[in-house]
A = this chain, B = another copy of it.
Amino acid sequence: MTGSVTPPLPSSPGTPGGATELALSPVGEPPPLRADAARNRTRLLEAASQLMAGCGAAQLTMDAVAAAAGVGKGTVFRRFGDRTGLLVALLDHREQQLQAAFLTGPAPLGPDAPPLERLHAFGPALVRHERDHHELILSSRTDPLRTYDVPANRLRLTHVTMLLRQAGVAGDAELLAHTLLGSVDSVLVHHLIVERGMPLDRVLAGWHDLVTRLVTRPSSAT
């Protein structure tokens, strides 16, 4: 179980400017749910997953999910904050596999391979994963800014940043990681392939090329 989606509890409007800390992820103690709450959470995720499988994201209305799970509508919102929250939770759950693959899995994705190799392998793995779940991803992007707060995406960023550093890349590893990840962003790739008819191979070649360019030290400037 993920347990990562900390819903925006109504008790935390707090300081608006909140510069005390990042305050976005006071991850440390996701207070355990009450028994019934946990049970309902599971039911809701299952119901949502089935509705999704059955009729696509369009049919995934909050009322429908609530009804299918046999709970009230308010409960869904209490648990997941809003529709996006529910979708993210659903997605987050499906991320586990991918995360396991690059965190602890076998080479070339896992920690046994050298950083550069892992980096090269990471792109295709991501693209494949995102293609499998693109509908869910698409519909969870209603609020563009929140994308960067999704745990899965944060994890990817840290991962790529780390790999870049380990590969001995010169320069701003964090920014470069953003750039790399952006180049295989789910929405972009979907656009390129579906709407522009670009072959998948070309996108993947782009990833490898980009990794190579970024890892290579720029020899001459203007």
Mark interface residues in A163-191 (1 if CB within 8 Å of B CB, else 0): 00000000110011011001101011011
Roughly how many angstroms separate A218 CA and B116 CA in the complex, as a whole number? 15
Identify the closest chain B residue to A214 (Cβ). Answer: B213
With contact pairs A175-B202, A179-B179, A182-B185 given, residues A120 and B212 touching in the complex (Cβ less than 8 Å)? no
Q: Smallest CB–CB gap between A78 and chain B, Å? A: 23
Interface membership of A61, Cβ < 8 A: no
Interface membership of A38, Cβ < 8 A: no
Roughly how many angstroms separate A138 CA and B143 CA in the complex, as a whole number? 9
> From DSSP, what is the main secondary structure of chain A's interface residues?
helix
Identify the closest chain B residue to A148 (Cβ). Answer: B191
Q: Is the CB of B219 within 8 A of A187?
A: no
Q: Is the CB of B188 within 8 A of A178?
A: yes
Residues of chain B within 8 A of A141, CB atoms compared: 144
With contact pairs A144-B138, A145-B187, A191-B145 given, residues A175 and B218 touching in the complex (Cβ less than 8 Å)? no
Interface membership of A209, Cβ < 8 A: yes
Residues of chain B within 8 A of A192, CB atoms compared: 178
Residues of chain B within 8 A of A202, CB atoms compared: 172, 175
Of residues A209, A213, A216, which shows the largest number of chain B Cβ atoms within 10 Å of its Cβ?
A: A213
Name the contact of A175 in the complex, choosing from B116, B175, B187, B206 (C-beta under 8 A).
Answer: B206
Q: List 23 A-B contacts (CB under 8 A).
A: A116-B222, A120-B222, A138-B144, A145-B191, A148-B191, A172-B202, A172-B205, A175-B203, A178-B183, A178-B192, A179-B179, A179-B182, A179-B183, A179-B210, A182-B185, A182-B188, A209-B218, A212-B218, A212-B221, A212-B222, A213-B214, A213-B216, A213-B218
Other than the known A175-B202, A176-B210, A213-B214, what 20 A-B pairs have Cβ atoms closer than 8 Å? A24-B195, A120-B222, A141-B144, A142-B142, A144-B144, A144-B187, A148-B191, A148-B195, A171-B209, A172-B202, A172-B209, A175-B206, A175-B209, A179-B210, A182-B182, A209-B218, A212-B218, A212-B221, A213-B213, A216-B220
